[in-house]
Structure 1
Amino acid sequence: MSELPASNGLLIVPHLRVQNANAISSPLTWGFPAISAFIGLMQAVERKFEGRFALMFDSVAVVCHNHEAQVTGGYQRAFRLTRNPVNERGETAAIVEEGRIHLDITLIFGISGYSEDGQDDPVQGDWQQRRQIASEIAELLGSMRIAGGSVFLDPQHKPVLEPLAQGEERSKQFRRLRRRWLPGFALVSRDDLLQAHLQHLRDENTNANLLDAWLDLSRLNLSAQETRPASETQPAKVEWRVQRVMPNGWLVPIPVGYGALGPLQAAGSVANARDGQTPLRFVESLYSIGQWLSPHRLRDVDDLLWYASADPEAGLYRCHNLYSQNLCTDDME
């Protein structure tokens, strides 16, 4: 992984309401938009500036306060789909299944200001300038879509552009900020748990692979445990209990980017491509394990920010989060 950019400010847009966002995050997962959707939103916002602000967007974090998947209830769930008009023969028209979800989220963008031709760094500008920039960007977000969903701004919660402090002041600043994001849950990466569980499975089965570990962490595993031995008159009594091979936590399978299926194709060489001026590559989804954590359990803003990285030679285009890396560093200290 290449060196990630260091942000010197945060743009916080609290309590965005998103209606009918895409709940199908990949071919194998559903329940919340993929983190790549928020990375794409960040890049789209930066392009729409049209040079008005001397800002660069480096990373993004999402804190979910409420979610409402549009599914039927019960043990087995199904998406609530639209009813399309019948075709010319009076038959039901074919549809592509769409999963929708309503969200109440806070977006935190890691940003960097820069000086160019004597222009002041807007992140370090006065509070009136920062408030004006934050308001304009929030209004821009209100005209866009998040994972295909419509965005509604909450007038009771104002966006904030805040410079990041350093040292001990940074810790105090983050403790103050994270209280504003309660109640809610932030999505972080747990690549470390996936690797640890793979090693645990290989201790029992040397043929276990990453897919086995990923599936095992993605489901609820139950096992029968004997609580009373069998006797001459009564059979043994057992209880079904949840197997916990990892620390308690809200673990979820998540897509984290894309892996190449073949070489990079020259621009315009693939028929029916959306953009004939950009090289094209066929890819498939990459998967890992994520964890939803309450913001008060995080120690630094770097714990919740997600970064985009690309390694064309290796064929990897994925999103990174430093929570597990910072966790290992804290443990060593």
Structure 2
Amino acid sequence: MTEINSLLVLPRLQVQAANAVSGPLTWGFPAPTAFTGFAHALERRLIAELPGGFAGVGIICHRFEPQVYRAAGNYTYAFCLTRNPVDKDGATASLVEEGKAHLEVTLVIALADWIPEDDRSAVLARINRAVLSMRLAGGSLLPQRPGPRFAPRLEEWPSAETDRHELFRRLRRYWLPGFALALREDRLTQALHQLREVQPQATALDALLDLSRLNVEPSAEPEPNGTTEWQIRRREGWLVPLPIGYAGLSELHAPGKVLNSRDTETPVRFVESLYSMGEWVSPHRLTCLEQLLWHHDADPQSGIYRCTNRYTDYLTDAAEGIA
């Protein structure tokens, strides 16, 4: 794992018309791959200033506005779609459904480089120019609002554990109000075990759907008058289904062998989406930086390309609580 020496904080980025459909089964907040991909693209642009590279990205959402509407008399929502211009013959172009959303997010990027204090202003200016010229989750980044609250920051990450805890404790206050995205594969595994006690043939997809939907169930004991009370099944935490990457469907093809691929220098394979369970956690409940960061994890031999997060690895410390 790459050693962390600095933190780059991009606070309250306003993203317009970001992609809200990251997989074939769900819609909503963009997948973690959109933000790790953004960090990777930014890393390539800043290779001269930050040769050590990045060591993970934390995602904190402050605002999420899906571009949807509900027609009068309907209970379901539909995406607000755009009509494409007519073609050269004057015919009406077909509609392609696209889900869009406006976001306000804070990104916390771990850096392997240590930036001298005298150089931080120049490096931050270069980073700011690069960030505002990019797209995030397919959306456009709006100009930053004035004031120190919205300005990018570079923080030296201390080597002593007590100093790290104190710095992280101070930083997480700036991320309120908001919610950090964490990976909860343990909750999915637990739900699958419980589901198989009554449905032995249940799959991980059944457990994912069971955790994602609103379950209305009868009470265990009937009322004295013989009626049955129906209740919404309650669960701990704000859980959401989450696309976390891709699994290979074919072998890895040599560069240039697949027609119409992006380039002729990169191996290509056909993939499908990987799903897991995520949880929105208030930043003040995080106990360390490792719980916040997302990382790329690629295994070409097994065909798995996914994002990982170590939130559950530090739940013991979180249960004890750090004031």
* 1:159 to 2:152 alignment: yes
Identity of aligned residues (%): 47
Kindly state the Cα deviation for residue 6 of structure 1 after the two structures are TM-superposed: 3.2
- Kept in 2, the 8 Å contact 1:64–1:106? The answer is yes
**What corresponds to 2:287 in structure 1?**
299
Aligned AA (1:143): S
Aligned partner (choices 62, 65, 69) of residue 65 of structure 1: 62
Show the 5 A alignment for 1:160-309: 160-165=153-158, 166-225=160-219, 228-230=223-225, 236-244=226-234, 246=235, 248-309=236-297
Partner of 1:313: 301
Report the residue type matching 1:62 in the other structure: I
1:117 alignment partner in structure 2: none
State TM-score, norm by structure 2.
0.91
TM-score (norm 1): 0.89
Q: Secondary structure at the match of 1:37?
A: helix
Shift of 1:24: 0.6
- Shift of the alpha carbon at 1:228? 2.7
1:137 and 2:132 are equivalent in the alignment: no
- 1:96: how far off? 1.6
Q: How does 1:5-154 map to 2 (within 5 A)?
A: 5-73=2-70, 75-87=75-87, 92-113=92-113, 121-122=114-115, 125-126=116-117, 128-152=118-142, 153-154=144-145
| 1:132 Cα deviation from its structure 2 partner | 2.7
Deviations 1:250-301 (Å, cap 9, x if unpaired)?
A: 1000011111101100011111111111111111111000000110010001
8 Å CA contact retained: 2:42, 2:130: yes
Q: Which amino acid counterpart does residue 156 of structure 2 have in structure 1?
A: P
Paired AA for residue 238 in structure 1: T
Gaps of 5+ in 2: none
Instruction: Give the Cα separation in 2 of the matches to 1:179 and 1:329.
Output: 19
- 1:87 deviates by 4.6
Letter of the aligned partner of 1:182 in structure 2? L
Deviation at 1:93, TM superposition (A): 1.7
Contact 2:287–2:317, Cα closer than 8 Å, also in 1: no
- Structure 1 distance, partners of 2:119, 2:112, is 15
CA distance in 2, matches of 1:185, 1:106: 10
- Matches of 1:84 and 1:11, distance apart in 2: 39
Q: Distance in 1 between matches of 2:75 and 2:284?
A: 32
1-side partners of 2:91 and 2:222: how far apart? Answer: 58
SS of residue in 2 equivalent to 1:237: coil
Would the aligned equivalents of 1:130 and 1:162 in 2 still touch at CA under 8 Å?
Answer: no
**3-state DSSP of counterpart to 1:228:** coil
Q: 1 CA distance for matches of 2:301 and 2:318?
A: 33
Change in 2 beyond 3 A, CA 1:199/1:107: same
Q: Return the letter of the residue paired with 1:95.
A: L
Q: Which amino acid aligns with 1:54?
A: P
2:52, 2:129 → 1: CA distance?
16
| Alpha carbons 1:16, 1:154 under 8 Å: kept | no
Query: Which amino acid in 1 is paired with 2:173?
Result: R
* Conserved 8 A contact 1:131-1:160: no
Cα gap change, 1:50/1:168 in structure 2, threshold over 3 Å: closer, same or farther? closer
Q: Please say if residues 224 and 238 of structure 1, whose CA atoms lie closer than 8 Å, have aligned partners that are also in contact.
A: yes
CA contact (8 A) 2:13 2:106 kept: yes
Deviation by residue 1:1-48 (Cα, 9 ceiling, x = unmatched): xxx333222100101100000011111111111110111111111111
State the one-letter code of the partner of 1:145: R
Q: In structure 2, do the counterparts of structure 1 residues 87 and 192 end up closer, same or farther at CA, with 3 Å as the change threshold?
A: same
Number of residue pairs matched by the alignment: 313
- Kindly indicate whether the alpha-carbon contact (under 8 Å) linking 2:223 and 2:229 is maintained by their aligned counterparts in 1: no
Deviates more, 1:312-321 or 1:45-54: 45-54
